[in-house]
Structure 1
Amino acid sequence: MHRRTFLKQSGSAAIGLAAAGTRLLAQQSDRPIRTALVGAGWYGKTDLFHLMQVAPIDVVGLCDVDQQMAAEAAALVSTRQASGKRPPTYGDYRKLLKDQAPEVVLVGTPDHWHCLPVVEACKAGADVYVQKPISYDVVEGQAMVAAARKYGRTVQVGLERRSTPHLLEARDRYLLSGVMGKIGFIDIHSYYGSHRGFKPAGQVPSHMDWEQYVGPASWVNYHPDIHPRSWRHRREFSNGQTGDLCVHFFDLIRYFMGLGWPKRIASTGGSYMRSEGTHVNVHDTQNTLFEYDDLQVVWTQKNWGTSPDKDYPWGATIY
């Protein structure tokens, strides 16, 4: 199987960023694709195991700054890949790229670590699947696009709601059919709660390279709540719910409605529901207007209040 076909069949929606004329392999084959994972946490493993279900791959390396997490992932991989091999683990993605020369690299790190592994993987000749958001900020995203084009690589961004069956069915049945008529307003929202505060700073575990975890971000002392799942509550590592669920649903709406970029964007927000002294520093409230010629899309993010659908704290409501 060609590695580009493999990526397209990965089961998660993506945005291709390859330049025209990107080279193709000389021949298609059924040999396993040499695949590596950078960021072996929950979603990194999820993406990797999904790929195992749809294409023949040979997992040649795993990278994570948490040695324990990497070892646990390697053990799982050995039970799931056809060869039964346990892939070697690394604490530095650059050494993995040099030692293993993967053809495909999955990046499932926290957001602040998306850019550098993607750029280096492209430079090393690998195609890349990176979780959304593509980058921590616009400048990093531009660098990633430039690297994909410079080195002729395919980079795909994990926006899986584009390929979620029931959402595509709803699009076809209600939007594309014209049943809903003219759409004038869309509310995308998250009323998902977050930490009110972290535990006091603790000792860095012996299996954790905290300095490498912080990496290109501004320095943050280790807190046991940040890793592995609550890094989104620090601005140094993410853009909070706006960089998470807003990306998902704004992309979904743009895809469903065939929208380009908005004419104007206005946003306001802040932290109103947390006590002073908390280590959480992302906003708990944000309201953003994306304005088009004949449509307004509003992003509402609150760690308080009530979602329009009592059963789901996040979603999109189309009017």
Structure 2
Amino acid sequence: MSKIELNRRTFILSTSTLVSASLLQGKIPNSSTNNPRKVALIGAGWYGKSDLFRLLQVADVEVVAVCDVDKKHLEEAAQLIAQKQKSKNTPKTYEDYRDLLKAHKLDLVVIGSPDHWHALQAIAAMKAGAHVYLQKPISRDVLEGEAIVATARKLNKKVQIGTQRRSTPHMIDAKENIIEKGLLGKISHVDMCCYYHMRDNAKREVQEVPTHLNYELWTGPAPMRPYDGSPHSRWRSYMEYCNGITGDMCVHMFDTVRWLLKLKWPKQITASGGIYLQKDSKSNIADTQTAIFEYEDLNCVWQHRTWGTFADPDYPWAFIIYGEKGTLKGSTMKYEFIPVGKGERIIKDVVYEREAYPEDEKEPRIEMNAAPATRRQMQNLLSAIDNNHLPVADVEEGHISSSSCILANISMELKRPVQYDPKTKTCLNDPEATKMLKRSYRGNWKHPAG
């Protein structure tokens, strides 16, 4: 059995045409330097800035405003943006996204806030006239997602979701040269997993809210928890603000599998799990979960554990697609095709683009493996805006992937399968599950589904 490996530089050269044809779907006009697109960032923490910086690398834009409820995040972001954008202008800063949207006429808003804010901020940005780059998952509940999709379609706004595996060079190659060429044959099973130890298990004491943080506005429509220093920086460990590890990590792999195999809504979702081992912390997300997303003659099975060893050290966060002729393993770092019987084993590696973007090496906390994909996501979004086509990670696709993970959590809580009908926006024959499609908002905040 022979083994084909492609080094990174060769892979960049050989896939340049592929990426251009598959993602950009047409040439993106260069904006005049006298009239660049006006952009704002809402949520100026780690990943919000990272997404914005990828946009600045590939497009002529002017970041005119930035919003965050943490003054330290806000000041740092404004300074870094001024250093990186062509004009060297410092964007105006805002604590409340509503004030920002009132003050500026924007072409594009990048949203990197915690999950519980995504729906309200994305809808408000579209109503203010902007297109949106929105981090995943798109919503904290299913009906928020429906409301985002409805707003985008009504206002003809392009919304690109941060499920960037659809723009990852080695994933595009796998789609075109493994899946679409039929190397797997009939496909009837998919495994997906994440075994990272990413749950916050520290024992934290209640403390005073720091003066630089508006904790009331940070919490917004979510339930108010006593401040213990963790939600602001470790909020993904609390279901009040997120959809657990399934909503954070499965959404990426499930979205990738759906894209590769052209799948839409699952027929049925069944999940089980809970806090099996790490019971001593305040974190309330499941440390163990299995979910089955059922299609015709095909199950997509998700497994996560935040403890123990990885099932496969080479694929700690991954998908494995099983076909009658072979198997495709995929992660953010590579893909591997393993044929049944005799045949060529194909391995292709991640693209880093260090030579094209040497500044990546100096950026703190950058995900080098994801940066090329995010740049392509941004280029694809601008093409969608200019040429009126749907982005590669369109909001409806992000909604299906995000809400399927939310439905898995509902199934786990109810201890029974759920079947979601996107036409009626209900769970079939299950009033209790249907009620869980929409969470309650705190105080005067209004849910976009009414």
1:59 counterpart letter in structure 2: V
2:201 counterpart letter in structure 1: R
What is the CA–CA distance in structure 2 between the aligned matches of 1:187 and 1:91, rounded to whole Å?
42
What is the CA–CA distance in structure 1 between the aligned matches of 2:158 and 2:129, rounded to whole Å?
10
2:103 counterpart letter in structure 1: D
Q: Which runs of 5+ in 1 are unaligned?
A: 1-8, 15-26
Give the superposition deviation at 1:242. Answer: 0.8
**Alignment partner of 1:145 out of 122, 143, 149:** 149
CA gap 1:179/1:152 in 2 versus in 1, 3 angstroms: closer
What is the CA–CA distance in structure 1 between the aligned matches of 2:84 and 2:203, rounded to whole Å?
36
Map 1:129-144; keep pairs closer than 5 Å.
Answer: 129-144=133-148
Is 1:272 matched with 2:298?
no
What is the CA–CA distance in structure 2 between the aligned matches of 1:258 and 1:151, rounded to whole Å?
26
Give the superposition deviation at 1:262. Answer: 1.6
2:118 and 2:134 in contact (8 A); partners too: yes
Map 1:230-309; keep pairs closer than 5 Å.
Answer: 230-276=234-280, 278-309=281-312
Is 1:122 matched with 2:122?
no
Is 1:223 matched with 2:228?
yes
What is the CA–CA distance in structure 1 between the aligned matches of 2:317 and 2:30, rounded to whole Å?
42
1:129 and 1:155 in contact (8 A); partners too: yes
What is the CA–CA distance in structure 2 between the aligned matches of 1:307 and 1:185, rounded to whole Å?
20
1:64 counterpart letter in structure 2: D
4+ runs deviating over 6 angstroms: none
What is the CA–CA distance in structure 2 between the aligned matches of 1:264 and 1:143, rounded to whole Å?
22
SS at match of 2:76: helix
Q: Which runs of 5+ in 2 are unaligned?
A: 1-18, 323-450
SS at match of 2:244: coil
CA gap 1:198/1:75 in 2 versus in 1, 3 angstroms: farther
1:181 counterpart letter in structure 2: G
- Partner residue, 2:206: 201
SS at match of 1:37: strand
Residues 47-68 of structure 1, C-alpha deviations (whole Å, 9 max, x = no match): 1011111110000100000011
- Partner residue, 1:5: none
Give the superposition deviation at 1:29. Answer: 4.6
- Partner residue, 1:22: none
1:290 and 1:297 in contact (8 A); partners too: yes
- Partner residue, 1:99: 103
Is 1:86 matched with 2:65?
no
- Partner residue, 1:72: 76
What is the CA–CA distance in structure 2 between the aligned matches of 1:183 and 1:231, rounded to whole Å?
37
- Partner residue, 2:169: 165
- Partner residue, 1:210: 215
What is the CA–CA distance in structure 1 between the aligned matches of 2:142 and 2:238, rounded to whole Å?
18
Is 1:52 matched with 2:56?
yes
Residues 280-311 of structure 1, C-alpha deviations (whole Å, 9 max, x = no match): 01111111111111111101111124333213
What is the CA–CA distance in structure 2 between the aligned matches of 1:68 and 1:198, rounded to whole Å?
25
1:219 counterpart letter in structure 2: M
1:65 and 1:210 in contact (8 A); partners too: yes
Moved more, 174-183 or 263-272: 174-183
SS at match of 1:61: strand
CA gap 1:41/1:60 in 2 versus in 1, 3 angstroms: same
- Partner residue, 2:196: 192
TM-score with structure 1 length normalisation?
0.88
- Partner residue, 1:20: none
TM-score with structure 2 length normalisation?
0.63
- CA-atom RMSD in angstroms: 1.8
Once the two structures are aligned, what percentage of the paired residues are identical? 47
1:200 counterpart letter in structure 2: E
Residues 231-277 of structure 1, C-alpha deviations (whole Å, 9 max, x = no match): 1100000011111111101010000011122211111111111234x
2:82 and 2:91 in contact (8 A); partners too: yes
CA gap 1:45/1:209 in 2 versus in 1, 3 angstroms: same
Please tell me whether Structure 1 or Structure 2 has the larger radius of gyration of its CA atoms.
2
More RCO (CA 8 Å, sep 6+)? 2
**Alignment partner of 1:311 out of 307, 310, 314:** 314
Give the superposition deviation at 1:102. Answer: 1.6
Give the superposition deviation at 1:179. Answer: 1.8
What is the CA–CA distance in structure 2 between the aligned matches of 1:307 and 1:149, rounded to whole Å?
41
Moved more, 50-59 or 198-207: 198-207
Give the superposition deviation at 1:225. Answer: 2.5
Residues 159-214 of structure 1, C-alpha deviations (whole Å, 9 max, x = no match): 10001001111222322222222222111111111222342122211100001111
- Partner residue, 1:154: 158
- Partner residue, 1:17: none
What is the CA–CA distance in structure 1 between the aligned matches of 2:294 and 2:309, rounded to whole Å?
24
